Chains A and B, each alone.
Chain A
């Protein structure tokens, strides 16, 4: 099962546009699309010196841990987690079970505003990812099965 479909320019533009709209309308600091394995697929917004690669890996781990906890108390309907900070807060939402939307926003901004705009963004991203999967059902990647320390299988020469 590929967690990430093969994305073409049209997809990337749409994902970037969706994140851009979310950041503009909600005044969030940054919005990220993560593969469920924690890999950063797209990002929009200010860097603010944040390490988004590490945030991505930890966000997906945290999401998985909270989802497992929810499962242990028989909660099957689990789609988001919210970390409330004093400077910055973070909202994580499942997009389609394979990807996550992470929104980082200043603590002064209400989480309700972020949730409101994020729901539209999730739908928009979900539609585009579905389109990409349908376009190329056998194309795609499971980034978590690639060991980035050993990229030897990433690019392979065509057989003669």
Chain B
């Protein structure tokens, strides 16, 4: 749930990068951290990675960024990743608490399709367990690792992951080369802020 502080004119939103193990969620955050342009250095926080000794995400990665996204409102974006491995499901539920927007990162390699579908189902299940519904939360898809040789066609990935009643924006990318990273982030931000503006207008 976005936190709006009318006194200080601050809006705080939480975006979670979700997806199967080794799909590139942490790489997305690393690329944002390394390459994002900010008005001043204080607008970009330190990236916190709670990872194992082999750099596998154990709890989450966290990156706070500030921007003036809506006129008059300082917006604080909190970017999180979840650990992808099956054993960390309870951990994923913890990270999802209070989520405002989701970037689902899928691995484009053919042999990872089952894991992508399983992870997407796991996302909907975990949201249900938190009494949330994916239909109410803005999300985008990122078909990552397009630079690898054995990737599935985008249409096939759409068929597997983007065949719900309402289709969502999907981006191809190669996070290690920063391709698709900012496109996905900007789109989820746009969806989130539109939702915020629409809800504010209704009140």
Contacts and interface: CB of A to CB of B under 8 A. Distances in A.
Interface of A: 1, 3, 36-39, 53-54, 57-58, 60-62, 64-65, 68, 98, 142, 144-145, 147-150
Contacts of B85: 144, 147-149
Interface in B1-43: 20-22
Interface of B: 20-22, 48, 50-54, 56, 58-59, 83-88, 90-91, 94, 115, 118
A37 B52 contact: yes
The 3 closest A-B pairs by CB, nearest first: A61-B59, A144-B52, A64-B50
A86 to B, nearest CB: 21
A142 B54 contact: yes
B87 A53 contact: yes
B107 to A, nearest CB: 11
Contacts of B91: 57-58, 61
Contacts of A61: 50, 58-59, 83, 88, 91, 94
Contacts of A1: 53-54
A37 B51 CA distance: 8
Contacts of A54: 90
Interface of B is mostly: mixed
Contacts of B54: 1, 3, 142, 144-145
Contacts of B83: 61
A3 B88 CA distance: 17
Nearest to B51: A64
Nearest to A64: B50
Contacts of A145: 52, 54, 56
B118 A149 contact: yes
A150 B115 CA distance: 9
13 contacts: A37-B52, A37-B56, A39-B87, A57-B87, A61-B58, A61-B91, A142-B54, A147-B86, A147-B115, A148-B86, A148-B87, A149-B20, A149-B86
A147 B21 contact: yes
Contacts of B52: 3, 36-37, 142, 144-145
A147 B193 CA distance: 35
Given A61-B59, A61-B88, A64-B59, A149 B21 contact: yes
A89 B40 CA distance: 45
Given A64-B58, A149-B118, 16 more contacts: A1-B54, A36-B58, A39-B87, A57-B90, A61-B59, A62-B59, A64-B51, A65-B50, A98-B53, A142-B53, A144-B52, A144-B56, A145-B56, A148-B86, A149-B20, A149-B85
